Structure 1
Amino acid sequence: MLNDFSGNVVINGTGNRVSLQRPSSCTDVYIEVSGGGTVEIGARARLCGQHIRLFAPGRITFGEGCAFNGLSYFHMHESATIRLGNDCLIAGNASFSTSHVHKIMDLDTGERLNPAGDIIVGDHVWISADASLWPGAVIGNDSVVGKGSYVSKEFPANCIIVGAPARVVRERITWEG
Protein backbone atom coordinates (compact mmCIF):
# COMPACT_ATOMS: atom_id res chain seq x y z
CA MET A 1 0.00 0.00 0.00
CA LEU A 2 1.23 3.49 -0.90
CA ASN A 3 1.48 5.70 2.19
CA ASP A 4 2.36 8.99 0.50
CA PHE A 5 -0.45 9.21 -2.08
CA SER A 6 -2.00 12.65 -2.31
CA GLY A 7 -4.97 13.11 -4.59
CA ASN A 8 -8.32 11.70 -5.61
CA VAL A 9 -9.46 8.67 -7.55
CA VAL A 10 -13.07 8.73 -8.79
CA ILE A 11 -14.55 5.65 -10.45
CA ASN A 12 -18.02 5.96 -11.99
CA GLY A 13 -19.97 2.88 -13.05
CA THR A 14 -18.64 -0.58 -13.78
CA GLY A 15 -15.95 -2.09 -15.96
CA ASN A 16 -13.32 0.46 -14.96
CA ARG A 17 -9.82 -0.30 -13.67
CA VAL A 18 -7.07 1.75 -12.03
CA SER A 19 -3.69 0.11 -11.37
CA LEU A 20 -0.97 2.10 -9.63
CA GLN A 21 2.29 0.19 -9.21
CA ARG A 22 4.66 1.33 -6.48
CA PRO A 23 5.54 4.93 -7.51
CA SER A 24 8.57 6.84 -6.22
CA SER A 25 6.28 9.75 -5.35
CA CYS A 26 2.67 10.69 -5.94
CA THR A 27 1.28 14.12 -5.06
CA ASP A 28 -1.81 16.07 -6.13
CA VAL A 29 -3.03 13.44 -8.61
CA TYR A 30 -6.63 13.38 -9.86
CA ILE A 31 -7.88 10.28 -11.69
CA GLU A 32 -11.47 9.98 -12.94
CA VAL A 33 -12.57 6.91 -14.88
CA SER A 34 -15.97 6.03 -16.34
CA GLY A 35 -17.30 4.15 -19.33
CA GLY A 36 -15.06 1.09 -19.10
CA GLY A 37 -11.71 2.89 -18.96
CA THR A 38 -8.38 1.62 -17.67
CA VAL A 39 -5.50 3.58 -16.13
CA GLU A 40 -2.22 1.75 -15.52
CA ILE A 41 0.76 3.51 -13.93
CA GLY A 42 4.05 1.61 -13.84
CA ALA A 43 6.49 1.23 -10.98
CA ARG A 44 8.90 4.01 -10.00
CA ALA A 45 6.70 6.72 -11.51
CA ARG A 46 7.12 10.19 -10.05
CA LEU A 47 3.68 11.77 -10.23
CA CYS A 48 3.10 15.44 -9.48
CA GLY A 49 -0.22 17.07 -10.33
CA GLN A 50 -1.51 14.78 -13.07
CA HIS A 51 -5.11 15.27 -14.11
CA ILE A 52 -6.33 12.06 -15.76
CA ARG A 53 -9.91 11.78 -17.06
CA LEU A 54 -11.37 8.93 -19.12
CA PHE A 55 -14.98 9.29 -20.23
CA ALA A 56 -14.95 6.49 -22.80
CA PRO A 57 -13.69 2.93 -23.07
CA GLY A 58 -9.96 3.23 -23.49
CA ARG A 59 -6.62 2.86 -21.82
CA ILE A 60 -4.03 5.25 -20.42
CA THR A 61 -0.70 3.63 -19.59
CA PHE A 62 2.42 5.21 -18.07
CA GLY A 63 5.48 2.97 -18.31
CA GLU A 64 7.93 2.33 -15.49
CA GLY A 65 9.99 5.26 -14.27
CA CYS A 66 7.95 8.02 -15.94
CA ALA A 67 8.52 11.35 -14.20
CA PHE A 68 6.24 14.38 -14.23
CA ASN A 69 7.33 17.87 -13.28
CA GLY A 70 4.15 19.79 -12.55
CA LEU A 71 0.54 19.70 -13.65
CA SER A 72 -0.25 17.80 -16.85
CA TYR A 73 -3.53 16.75 -18.42
CA PHE A 74 -4.68 13.45 -19.94
CA HIS A 75 -8.20 13.48 -21.42
CA MET A 76 -10.12 10.81 -23.28
CA HIS A 77 -13.63 11.64 -24.49
CA GLU A 78 -13.78 8.95 -27.17
CA SER A 79 -12.42 5.42 -27.20
CA ALA A 80 -8.64 5.36 -27.75
CA THR A 81 -5.27 4.71 -26.12
CA ILE A 82 -2.66 6.97 -24.58
CA ARG A 83 0.60 5.16 -23.90
CA LEU A 84 3.80 6.59 -22.46
CA GLY A 85 6.80 4.26 -22.64
CA ASN A 86 9.31 3.68 -19.86
CA ASP A 87 11.43 6.49 -18.38
CA CYS A 88 9.62 9.40 -20.03
CA LEU A 89 9.95 12.91 -18.66
CA ILE A 90 6.89 15.16 -18.89
CA ALA A 91 7.18 18.87 -18.04
CA GLY A 92 4.46 21.04 -16.56
CA ASN A 93 1.33 22.01 -18.45
CA ALA A 94 1.74 19.28 -21.07
CA SER A 95 -1.57 17.99 -22.39
CA PHE A 96 -2.68 14.78 -24.08
CA SER A 97 -6.13 14.43 -25.65
CA THR A 98 -7.35 11.62 -27.90
CA SER A 99 -10.05 13.76 -29.51
CA HIS A 100 -11.02 17.35 -30.11
CA VAL A 101 -14.37 16.53 -28.42
CA HIS A 102 -16.44 18.43 -30.99
CA LYS A 103 -16.79 16.72 -34.36
CA ILE A 104 -15.98 18.65 -37.54
CA MET A 105 -17.84 17.22 -40.52
CA ASP A 106 -17.50 17.67 -44.29
CA LEU A 107 -20.83 19.06 -45.51
CA ASP A 108 -20.69 17.21 -48.82
CA THR A 109 -19.67 13.73 -47.68
CA GLY A 110 -20.59 13.70 -43.98
CA GLU A 111 -17.05 12.47 -43.28
CA ARG A 112 -15.60 13.36 -39.94
CA LEU A 113 -12.50 15.50 -40.46
CA ASN A 114 -11.09 15.27 -36.92
CA PRO A 115 -11.51 11.67 -35.73
CA ALA A 116 -10.36 10.43 -32.35
CA GLY A 117 -7.09 8.52 -32.28
CA ASP A 118 -4.34 7.04 -30.18
CA ILE A 119 -1.33 8.84 -28.72
CA ILE A 120 1.79 6.68 -28.47
CA VAL A 121 5.02 7.92 -26.85
CA GLY A 122 8.11 5.68 -26.98
CA ASP A 123 10.64 4.98 -24.24
CA HIS A 124 12.85 7.73 -22.82
CA VAL A 125 11.00 10.66 -24.41
CA TRP A 126 11.19 14.17 -22.96
CA ILE A 127 8.07 16.27 -23.51
CA SER A 128 8.72 19.92 -22.65
CA ALA A 129 6.38 22.40 -20.97
CA ASP A 130 3.17 23.46 -22.68
CA ALA A 131 3.44 20.78 -25.39
CA SER A 132 0.16 19.27 -26.54
CA LEU A 133 -0.30 15.85 -28.11
CA TRP A 134 -3.40 15.06 -30.13
CA PRO A 135 -4.94 12.10 -32.01
CA GLY A 136 -2.37 10.41 -34.21
CA ALA A 137 0.67 11.62 -32.26
CA VAL A 138 3.43 9.00 -32.25
CA ILE A 139 6.83 9.91 -30.81
CA GLY A 140 9.78 7.55 -31.33
CA ASN A 141 12.16 6.48 -28.55
CA ASP A 142 14.80 8.89 -27.17
CA SER A 143 13.20 11.98 -28.72
CA VAL A 144 12.56 15.47 -27.35
CA VAL A 145 9.37 17.50 -27.91
CA GLY A 146 10.00 21.24 -27.59
CA LYS A 147 8.12 23.75 -25.45
CA GLY A 148 4.68 24.65 -26.75
CA SER A 149 4.75 22.16 -29.63
CA TYR A 150 1.51 20.84 -31.18
CA VAL A 151 1.98 17.19 -32.12
CA SER A 152 -0.61 15.27 -34.15
CA LYS A 153 1.36 12.96 -36.45
CA GLU A 154 4.10 10.33 -36.35
CA PHE A 155 7.77 11.16 -35.66
CA PRO A 156 10.85 8.90 -35.70
CA ALA A 157 13.16 8.00 -32.83
CA ASN A 158 16.13 10.14 -31.76
CA CYS A 159 14.93 13.52 -32.98
CA ILE A 160 14.00 16.96 -31.68
CA ILE A 161 10.43 17.94 -32.54
CA VAL A 162 9.28 21.56 -32.26
CA GLY A 163 6.59 23.93 -33.44
CA ALA A 164 2.91 24.24 -34.11
CA PRO A 165 2.46 22.19 -36.16
CA ALA A 166 5.39 20.11 -34.97
CA ARG A 167 8.29 19.26 -37.27
CA VAL A 168 11.70 17.60 -36.88
CA VAL A 169 14.52 20.13 -36.48
CA ARG A 170 17.34 17.75 -35.54
CA GLU A 171 17.91 14.01 -35.96
CA ARG A 172 20.31 11.49 -34.41
CA ILE A 173 20.08 12.83 -30.85
CA THR A 174 19.55 11.41 -27.39
CA TRP A 175 19.21 13.13 -24.04
CA GLU A 176 20.17 12.66 -20.40
CA GLY A 177 18.22 13.86 -17.42
Structure 2
Amino acid sequence: MPIIIEDNGANNVVSFPESSSANGKVIFSGDNNSLIVQGPFSGSVYITIGSNSDVQIGQNCSFADLRIHADQSSSIHIGEHVNVNARVQFLAHEPGTIRIGPWCLFASDIDVSVSDMHSIFDAVTGERINPASDVEIGAHVWVGNRVLVMKGARIGSGSMIGAGAIVNADVPKNCIAAGQPARVIRESIMWDRRLVSHLPQDAPALSFF
Protein backbone atom coordinates (compact mmCIF):
# COMPACT_ATOMS: atom_id res chain seq x y z
CA MET A 1 0.00 0.00 0.00
CA PRO A 2 1.55 3.35 -1.00
CA ILE A 3 1.75 6.57 0.97
CA ILE A 4 -1.63 8.36 0.94
CA ILE A 5 -1.44 12.17 0.88
CA GLU A 6 -4.39 14.14 2.29
CA ASP A 7 -3.81 17.83 1.61
CA ASN A 8 -6.28 20.15 3.34
CA GLY A 9 -4.24 23.31 2.81
CA ALA A 10 -2.33 25.23 0.16
CA ASN A 11 1.27 25.61 -0.97
CA ASN A 12 2.35 22.30 0.51
CA VAL A 13 5.34 20.55 -1.07
CA VAL A 14 5.83 16.77 -1.01
CA SER A 15 8.76 14.82 -2.43
CA PHE A 16 8.93 11.02 -2.19
CA PRO A 17 11.34 8.87 -4.22
CA GLU A 18 9.51 6.50 -6.53
CA SER A 19 11.55 3.53 -5.31
CA SER A 20 10.33 3.69 -1.70
CA SER A 21 8.47 0.62 -0.42
CA ALA A 22 6.85 2.46 2.49
CA ASN A 23 3.17 2.71 3.29
CA GLY A 24 1.06 4.96 5.48
CA LYS A 25 -0.56 8.38 5.45
CA VAL A 26 0.41 12.05 5.41
CA ILE A 27 -2.14 14.68 6.45
CA PHE A 28 -1.61 18.41 5.88
CA SER A 29 -4.05 20.45 7.97
CA GLY A 30 -2.63 23.84 6.98
CA ASP A 31 -0.50 25.75 4.52
CA ASN A 32 3.12 26.34 3.47
CA ASN A 33 4.62 23.06 4.57
CA SER A 34 7.25 20.77 3.09
CA LEU A 35 7.81 17.03 3.39
CA ILE A 36 11.03 15.95 1.72
CA VAL A 37 12.20 12.32 1.66
CA GLN A 38 15.74 12.31 0.28
CA GLY A 39 15.95 8.65 -0.70
CA PRO A 40 14.18 5.30 -0.59
CA PHE A 41 12.86 4.06 2.74
CA SER A 42 10.70 1.20 3.91
CA GLY A 43 8.08 0.53 6.57
CA SER A 44 5.05 2.38 7.86
CA VAL A 45 4.62 6.08 8.63
CA TYR A 46 1.79 8.29 9.85
CA ILE A 47 2.61 11.98 9.50
CA THR A 48 0.47 15.00 10.45
CA ILE A 49 1.65 18.51 9.61
CA GLY A 50 0.06 21.84 10.53
CA SER A 51 1.31 25.08 8.95
CA ASN A 52 4.70 26.58 8.11
CA SER A 53 6.48 23.37 9.09
CA ASP A 54 8.98 21.09 7.44
CA VAL A 55 9.77 17.39 7.76
CA GLN A 56 12.85 15.83 6.20
CA ILE A 57 13.77 12.14 6.08
CA GLY A 58 17.19 10.93 4.94
CA GLN A 59 17.77 8.06 2.56
CA ASN A 60 17.82 4.34 3.35
CA CYS A 61 15.71 4.51 6.52
CA SER A 62 13.50 1.73 7.86
CA PHE A 63 10.44 2.50 10.00
CA ALA A 64 8.37 -0.36 11.38
CA ASP A 65 5.91 2.15 12.88
CA LEU A 66 6.91 5.84 12.87
CA ARG A 67 4.51 8.63 13.77
CA ILE A 68 5.42 12.27 13.21
CA HIS A 69 3.50 15.36 14.28
CA ALA A 70 4.78 18.81 13.27
CA ASP A 71 2.31 21.55 14.16
CA GLN A 72 2.87 25.28 13.70
CA SER A 73 6.33 26.47 12.59
CA SER A 74 8.02 23.19 13.49
CA SER A 75 10.89 21.21 11.97
CA ILE A 76 11.60 17.49 12.25
CA HIS A 77 14.73 16.27 10.48
CA ILE A 78 15.73 12.59 10.40
CA GLY A 79 19.15 11.56 9.10
CA GLU A 80 19.99 8.71 6.77
CA HIS A 81 20.07 5.03 7.78
CA VAL A 82 17.78 5.55 10.79
CA ASN A 83 15.89 2.43 11.96
CA VAL A 84 12.68 2.25 14.02
CA ASN A 85 11.81 -1.22 15.33
CA ALA A 86 8.24 -0.50 16.50
CA ARG A 87 6.02 2.41 17.61
CA VAL A 88 8.08 5.61 17.84
CA GLN A 89 6.70 9.17 17.91
CA PHE A 90 8.48 12.42 17.03
CA LEU A 91 6.21 15.19 18.33
CA ALA A 92 6.32 18.96 17.87
CA HIS A 93 3.01 20.29 19.15
CA GLU A 94 4.59 23.76 19.49
CA PRO A 95 7.18 25.63 17.43
CA GLY A 96 10.46 23.77 17.77
CA THR A 97 12.93 21.42 16.12
CA ILE A 98 13.68 17.73 16.50
CA ARG A 99 16.90 16.69 14.82
CA ILE A 100 17.90 13.02 14.55
CA GLY A 101 21.41 12.18 13.32
CA PRO A 102 22.31 9.40 10.87
CA TRP A 103 22.61 5.70 11.75
CA CYS A 104 20.40 5.94 14.86
CA LEU A 105 18.49 2.92 16.16
CA PHE A 106 15.16 3.25 17.99
CA ALA A 107 13.59 0.28 19.76
CA SER A 108 9.84 0.55 20.53
CA ASP A 109 7.31 2.65 22.46
CA ILE A 110 9.48 5.77 22.37
CA ASP A 111 8.30 9.39 22.49
CA VAL A 112 10.52 12.32 21.48
CA SER A 113 8.85 15.69 22.10
CA VAL A 114 9.74 19.40 22.17
CA SER A 115 6.80 20.20 24.45
CA ASP A 116 4.91 19.11 27.57
CA MET A 117 1.78 19.40 25.38
CA HIS A 118 0.08 21.53 28.02
CA SER A 119 0.76 24.88 29.68
CA ILE A 120 1.93 25.53 33.25
CA PHE A 121 1.73 29.06 34.67
CA ASP A 122 3.17 30.92 37.61
CA ALA A 123 0.19 31.43 39.94
CA VAL A 124 1.32 34.98 40.86
CA THR A 125 2.46 36.46 37.55
CA GLY A 126 0.35 34.35 35.19
CA GLU A 127 3.42 33.80 33.02
CA ARG A 128 4.00 30.44 31.40
CA ILE A 129 6.90 28.53 32.96
CA ASN A 130 7.20 25.49 30.66
CA PRO A 131 8.04 26.71 27.15
CA ALA A 132 8.93 24.33 24.36
CA SER A 133 12.58 23.55 23.65
CA ASP A 134 14.40 21.83 20.78
CA VAL A 135 15.63 18.23 20.91
CA GLU A 136 18.80 16.95 19.27
CA ILE A 137 19.96 13.34 18.99
CA GLY A 138 23.42 12.86 17.50
CA ALA A 139 24.70 10.25 15.07
CA HIS A 140 24.71 6.50 15.81
CA VAL A 141 22.59 6.71 18.98
CA TRP A 142 20.72 3.67 20.31
CA VAL A 143 17.47 4.46 22.14
CA GLY A 144 15.97 1.57 24.12
CA ASN A 145 12.39 0.48 24.72
CA ARG A 146 9.90 2.82 26.42
CA VAL A 147 12.24 5.82 26.52
CA LEU A 148 10.93 9.38 26.83
CA VAL A 149 13.14 12.06 25.29
CA MET A 150 11.82 15.30 26.71
CA LYS A 151 12.01 18.91 25.55
CA GLY A 152 15.50 20.41 25.62
CA ALA A 153 17.31 17.05 25.64
CA ARG A 154 20.60 16.65 23.82
CA ILE A 155 22.05 13.18 23.28
CA GLY A 156 25.63 12.97 22.07
CA SER A 157 26.76 10.82 19.17
CA GLY A 158 27.63 7.19 19.80
CA SER A 159 25.65 6.91 23.03
CA MET A 160 23.03 4.44 24.25
CA ILE A 161 19.88 5.18 26.28
CA GLY A 162 18.68 2.34 28.52
CA ALA A 163 15.15 0.99 28.48
CA GLY A 164 12.56 3.03 30.37
CA ALA A 165 14.79 6.09 30.73
CA ILE A 166 13.53 9.67 30.84
CA VAL A 167 16.00 12.00 29.13
CA ASN A 168 15.44 15.63 30.10
CA ALA A 169 18.96 17.09 29.90
CA ASP A 170 22.28 16.67 28.08
CA VAL A 171 23.76 13.19 27.64
CA PRO A 172 27.44 13.20 26.55
CA LYS A 173 28.74 11.31 23.54
CA ASN A 174 29.93 7.69 23.72
CA CYS A 175 28.25 6.79 27.00
CA ILE A 176 25.39 4.71 28.39
CA ALA A 177 22.66 6.67 30.21
CA ALA A 178 19.74 5.12 32.08
CA GLY A 179 17.22 5.90 34.80
CA GLN A 180 14.49 8.45 35.56
CA PRO A 181 15.87 10.98 34.97
CA ALA A 182 18.62 9.51 32.81
CA ARG A 183 22.14 9.59 34.25
CA VAL A 184 25.44 8.39 32.80
CA ILE A 185 26.24 4.89 34.08
CA ARG A 186 29.19 4.10 31.80
CA GLU A 187 31.54 6.21 29.69
CA SER A 188 33.87 5.59 26.74
CA ILE A 189 31.69 3.04 24.94
CA MET A 190 31.02 2.12 21.34
CA TRP A 191 28.23 -0.12 20.06
CA ASP A 192 27.42 -2.20 17.01
CA ARG A 193 24.09 -3.54 15.73
CA ARG A 194 25.57 -7.01 15.31
CA LEU A 195 25.83 -9.55 18.13
CA VAL A 196 29.60 -10.08 18.32
CA SER A 197 32.11 -10.70 21.11
CA HIS A 198 34.59 -8.01 20.06
CA LEU A 199 34.38 -4.77 18.14
CA PRO A 200 34.65 -5.86 14.48
CA GLN A 201 37.50 -4.50 12.41
CA ASP A 202 34.97 -3.55 9.76
CA ALA A 203 32.92 -1.50 12.22
CA PRO A 204 32.02 1.94 10.85
CA ALA A 205 34.31 4.79 11.87
CA LEU A 206 31.84 6.05 14.45
CA SER A 207 34.17 6.51 17.41
CA PHE A 208 33.26 10.20 18.14
CA PHE A 209 35.83 10.47 20.99
Common fold, TM-score beyond 0.5?
A: yes
- In 2, the alpha carbon distance for the partners of 1:44 and 1:4 equals 11
Q: TM-score, normalised by structure 1?
A: 0.95
Which residue of the partner structure matches residue 133 of structure 1? 149
Shift of 1:84: 0.5
For residue 33 of structure 1, the aligned residue among 49, 66, 75 is 49
**Secondary structure at the counterpart of residue 28 of structure 2:** strand
Question: For residue 2 of structure 1, what is the amino acid of its counterpart?
Answer: S
**Higher RCO, 1 vs 2 (CA within 8 Å, ≥6 residues apart):** 1
Which residue of the partner structure matches residue 100 of structure 1? 116
Q: TM-score, normalised by structure 2?
A: 0.81
Moved segments of 4+, more than 4 Å = none
Question: Is the counterpart of residue 71 in structure 1 residue 87 in structure 2?
Answer: yes
Shift of 1:24: 4.0
For residue 110 of structure 1, the aligned residue among 126, 135, 138 is 126
Question: Is the counterpart of residue 6 in structure 1 residue 23 in structure 2?
Answer: yes
Shift of 1:152: 1.0
Which residue of the partner structure matches residue 21 of structure 1? 38
- In 1, the alpha carbon distance for the partners of 2:72 and 2:111 equals 18
- In 1, the alpha carbon distance for the partners of 2:160 and 2:67 equals 22
Shift of 1:129: 0.8
Matched-pair contact (CA < 8 Å) for 1:86–1:122: yes
Shift of 1:3: 4.7
Which residue of the partner structure matches residue 183 of structure 2? 167
Gaps of 5+ in 2: 1-17, 194-209
Q: What RMSD over aligned residues (CA atoms) do the two structures have, in Å?
A: 1.2
Shift of 1:12: 2.0
- In 2, the alpha carbon distance for the partners of 1:111 and 1:174 equals 44
